Structure 1
Amino acid sequence: MMLGDSPQNRGILFVCTGNICRSPYAERRLRQLLPDTGVPITSAGTGAVVHSDIESQTSEQLRRLGADVTDFAARAVTPQLLDGAELVLTMTRTHRGEVARVRPAAMRRIFALGDFADLCRSSATWRPISPTRPWLPQVVAEAAAARGTVAPRDAFDIDVVDPYGQSARTHTEAFDRIEDFLGVVVAAMGAVAGSSRATRT
């Protein structure tokens, strides 16, 4: 069994609106930054431009960073996708509410990416992660439990701006904010995944 596998092999799902800019950027970057964990990383949109490729400026930036942009097709958020995700990370708090309405039972597993990054900053106070069980469900449980202990920031500091049809500057603003949030998430998850891998080998 690969690291992070569970009977349903539930992974991480990023969500934005069209599933052609922000969420595919986060998906492909996290795949690049957290390789070989055995955790599927995918994306979808609340108003997806279904079957579309990654938007051109987003694809160009991903290529510059060495991320894989092949074999992508935008898709809509569905209850089935949410059931297959252990962790759902949305680009804005509004997206979080929209996704929760699709599958209310998944609410505990749905976070705005910026809020999740803030919770990851508090990970030093989380309970130790057991190396004998898949690490991702444990991380999600600890983050959910920490929600009431971390003061939420204003949505202006959390939401990732939609760059679709906007200037290169707006694209850069969106990419930079995703990079900042992913850096925190990768630091927290990478330490947990690496520790679990070392224990199992």
Structure 2
Amino acid sequence: MIKMKKIILLLILSLIVVGLGISEVTAVSDAETQANDILNKNNTDSKILVVYFSRTGENYNVGNVEVGNTAMVASYIKDYLKADSFEIIPVNKYPDKYQECLDQTTKEKNENARPEIQNKITNFDQYDTIFVGYPIWWGNLPMIMHTFFESYDFNGKKVIPFNTHEGSGDAGTYSTVQKDLPKANVTTDGLALDGKTARSDDGKQKTIDWLKGLGY
């Protein structure tokens, strides 16, 4: 009888542990789902566009994700400003495995490559202000960001950069954006969040506080 009670107790404890695990996974998935929902809805009358390049799959320090770190920040900006959004999608998807992605991005950097973008902004002239987001790769912009900057006329546009990182801050990339877009009004008062913060409520609040500091 005692042995049977122990077995029943162990089964109950196992169910509790499994239940807690499911709750944790569901909470993360819900946050990513909400970000996706926000990013996929546009207001065609908006004069503000949030452009972002973000990578899913295995990310350093945050694990496997369905919505990238930079995309999470982009969703906060878009939602707060009721802006439009555009995701930079490469023709050749980056590997899901972290090390494989590092190898590919190293090759692109060494070759000063311009990875192709599969989608296009058809109404770019409509927007006065462009928020531009990206991760820091090898202490610099992903090479595909140069492809994007070279694909549109930024003359007279206000450009506001933001980025995610794992210890390098903005890595001086806001000045790089200025050099890439000499005819645009590029602010260097950008936002840099590490991956875990970007995926948290604290990251969302820091993003909103930053936007308020910019006068929005």
Q: Same fold (TM over 0.5)?
A: no
More strand as a share of residues: 2
Q: TM tier, shorter chain?
A: 0.3 to 0.5
Give 1 or 2: higher helix fraction: 1
Q: Which of the pair has the greater relative contact order for Cα pairs under 8 Å at 6+ separation?
A: 1
